[in-house]
Amino acid sequence: MWFKNLQIYRLPAPWAVNADQLETWLAPQAFAACSSLDMQSQGWLSPRGNERLTHVVNQQILLQLSTEKKLLPATVINQVSKARAVEMEEQQGFAPGRKQMKELKEQVTDELLPRAFSIQRSTWAWIDPVNGWLVVDAGSASKAEEVLKLLIKGIPKFPLETLRTVRSPLSAMTEWLVADEAPGGFGIDQDTELRASGEGKATVRYTRHALEAEDVRRHIEAGKQCTRLAMTWDSRISFVLTETMTLKRIAPLDVLKEDSDNMTKNDDERFDSDFMLMTGELNKLLKDLVEALGGQLTENDGSGKAG
């Protein structure tokens, strides 16, 4: 398994916690399916379909947040409510008022909810208590916040910090493009986004297009900055770095795929070996990326607390 997107947070390194402690803390928030009257349910689900809410390989911890949501569009509720309102008007001789319509919609919602379809999605999180990482596989900060909120609620004095670096990704990526050179160990690929900071926020995007140094410099001299940059690390992993320090479109390259194929065993062993390979490689990638951005800002350098 490989995460596709990385929302990155910091923990103490090392963080003195073990899987059994996490099990105890997370158990009260275990996932339970929606009842007939619930619109949504959210909680921890076993990553491997057993009784454990944590899956541990080589001290690396995998969590799975499950979210179930009922599909009951507002248009359906409004359509049924309007039909009921017509019936009510015929019975009482006048159209229902605002309060009656509100009560009517609530009643219709309660009636339709047990018959509504539901969808379920998972959000994966990786905790590295050895090197102090919490990484959520989510394309948006809001999805990651769902994980953080439950962790903060369940873990006493959860020592979570936002990852902050000396140089912002925005300024660093822009400088790399001006110099037409990535930091050591990294390469610049063919996708990028340059955006102006003015009111119009004029934006130029290159997609699978060679980045001509002169063209890029001209845009930057006109006031644009790099907000997204496709990169390769150590010829092993490709990704897109964003201005918010999110890594997107994570993809292991051929050399890692070959390593994974060489470890092919049964499903459980393959899952564990893939997870161990992913966490090992991402650990090194994140370390090198933080160094390329000037190192991590600590609490003493400013407010770094998450949440």
User: What are the residue ranges spanned by the domains of the chain?
Assistant: 7-70+116-162, 74-115, 169-294
Q: What is the pLDDT of residue 303?
A: 45
Tokens for 167?
A: 């140089």
Condensed to tens digits (0 to 9), the pLDDT of residues 202-255 reads 888 878 777 777 778 888 888 889 999 999 999 999 999 999 999 999 999 977
Spatial separation of the C-alpha atoms in residues 205 and 56, rounded to whole Å? 40
Tokens for 92?
A: 């009482």
Q: Which residues, other chains included, contact 190 with Cβ-Cβ below 8 Å and sequence gap of 6+?
A: 206, 207, 208, 209, 210, 211, 230
Tokens for 76?
A: 């359906």
Spatial separation of the C-alpha atoms in residues 10 and 31, rounded to whole Å? 26
Q: Strand (E) positions, 138-265?
A: 161-162, 186-196, 203-206, 224-233, 237-242, 247-252
Residue 59 identity = Q
Q: Which residues, other chains included, contact 6 with Cβ-Cβ below 8 Å and sequence gap of 6+?
A: 135, 136, 137, 239, 246, 247, 248, 250, 282, 286
For the cut 80, the answer to whether the pLDDT of residue 18 exceeds it is: yes
61: nearest Cα among 19, 29, 102, 13: 19
DSSP string, 227-238: EEEEEEETTTEE
For the cut 70, the answer to whether the pLDDT of residue 299 exceeds it is: no
For the cut 80, the answer to whether the pLDDT of residue 141 exceeds it is: yes
For the cut 80, the answer to whether the pLDDT of residue 90 exceeds it is: yes
Spatial separation of the C-alpha atoms in residues 11 and 132, rounded to whole Å? 4
The one-character DSSP state at 184 is T
Q: Specify the higher pLDDT residue, 96 or 115.
A: 96
Locate tokens 């390259």: which residue?
A: 253
Condensed to tens digits (0 to 9), the pLDDT of residues 145-199 reads 999 999 999 999 999 999 999 999 999 999 999 888 899 899 999 889 999 887 6
Q: Which residues of 72-93 are buried (b: 16+ CB within 10 A; e: fewer)?
A: beeeebeebbeebbeebeeeee
pTM of the model as a whole: 0.83
Q: What is the pLDDT of residue 165?
A: 96
Element (H, E) at 87: helix 74-92
Spatial separation of the C-alpha atoms in residues 55 and 125, rounded to whole Å? 11
